[in-house]
Homo-oligomer: A and B are copies of this chain.
Amino acid sequence: MMTLDEKFKAIGADNAPGQEGRQKIDNLDSMMRGEKIAGVLVDFSHGDVDAFAPTPGSDALWMQGYQKGAAQAYTQYRGSAEIAQGLAERLGAFTGRAIAADSELIITPGTQGALFLALGALVGADTKVAVIAPDYFANRKIVTYLGGIVVPIPLHYGKGQSQNGPDLEALERAFKEGVEVLVFSTPNNPTGVIYSKESINKIATLARQYDVSVIVDQLYSRLLYSGESYTHLRACESVPKNIITIMGPSKTESLSGFRLGVAFGSAALIERMERLQAIVSLRAAGYNQAVLSGWLDETPGWLQERIQKHEAIRDDLLEIFNTAGLITAKPQAGSYLFPKLPPLDVDITLFVRLLRHQAGVIVTPGSEFGPTTHDSVRLNFSQDHDNAVAAAKRIVSMVQRYKK
């Protein structure tokens, strides 16, 4: 088993999205090819909540919570029973299977909190965990910190939509070889690929067959582009005994500054997650929980407009990257693009730092998302449209300057 020292090396956060401000910039000037490229700084490491503002009325809901006083400040660890009731109804309707508010749902500090608690409830020393590659960067790190063993499962994402998805043969092999937990995101972060109905059904069947616990991160499942369809694992006819679905209002709804997430599923797991939350952070901030009462209950048309605007940015950026020959899967949902860069004369970490220093563009290196994607970068394109387009063009210019 890994020592604590080794674990903390493995969960290094230097290149994690949002941490760029802490990187030391040494001599980047001397390594620059050509001059700086002017333009408004665009931080693609996360969505810009100034460009896409929090759901209207969120601050008023917060203030109502604050004014409610003690009853809102100190909820049970799994969150306010009243708010959980409304969430269970709306999330049950959204995902196609009922949720018992009292026993099958927990409110967490962000979906990050939900993910840590869900894995923390299932992964101990030497637990084998199937982790899709590429996928959300924290999955792998959490498993490693908890002492589990990461079993990577490839995701196909560059082949055209009908062939995209997880390698189900590799998954079944892993299940046969003792994997006890599967964690994945759909829509996939960082590629925007949605797992097809067939893939989801097969995962459900395999998980039941091999008694594997499944954690599905559906953070982006509301931001679904035209013509796409989405399958909720929890609504399959045959579902695994242990299944946790994770959602939250941090992305589509731009409520990340409130740190709110929700996990729902098997009561025994939710119970464990609550015990863990009691020692990790007690509860999601009480007043903030009040904002969840407006979630999945927005003004009619609000979501549609938000989707249309993101789809327009997606299309423009895709065209820029495709025209420049950067292979990029077409996101079916969510706001991530994951272009693959050609071979460069500098390593990807340095290129990403130069991109920030020289061209005012922040992206996350693909190495954060898995062992095989160091030649890609991730962009969260929930940004001001014009600024995002200009920044994408600067990325292309930079690639041309540094390519082999």
Please give the residue numbers on chain A whose beta carbons come within 8 Å of chain B beta carbons, in ascending order.
1, 3-4, 7-8, 11-13, 16, 18-19, 21-22, 46, 48-50, 53, 59, 62-63, 65-66, 69-70, 72-74, 76-77, 81, 109-110, 112-113, 116, 120-125, 127, 138, 141-142, 145, 147, 256-259, 272, 274-276, 278-288
Contacts and interface: CB of A to CB of B under 8 A. Distances in A.
Given A258-B285, A280-B281, 17 more contacts: A4-B121, A8-B276, A12-B275, A13-B274, A16-B77, A49-B69, A63-B63, A109-B109, A109-B281, A109-B285, A138-B279, A142-B279, A145-B276, A147-B147, A257-B287, A280-B280, A281-B281
Contacts of A110: 281-282
A76 B120 CA distance: 24
A162 to B, nearest CB: 34
Which 7 A-B residue pairs are closest in the complex by CB-CB distance? A73-B257, A259-B285, A257-B286, A4-B124, A13-B278, A109-B281, A50-B70
A contact face: mostly helix, strand, loop, or mixed: helix
Contact of A7 (B53, B124, B286): B124
A118 to B, nearest CB: 12
A13 B112 contact: no
B257 A282 contact: no
B287 A21 contact: no
B19 A72 contact: no
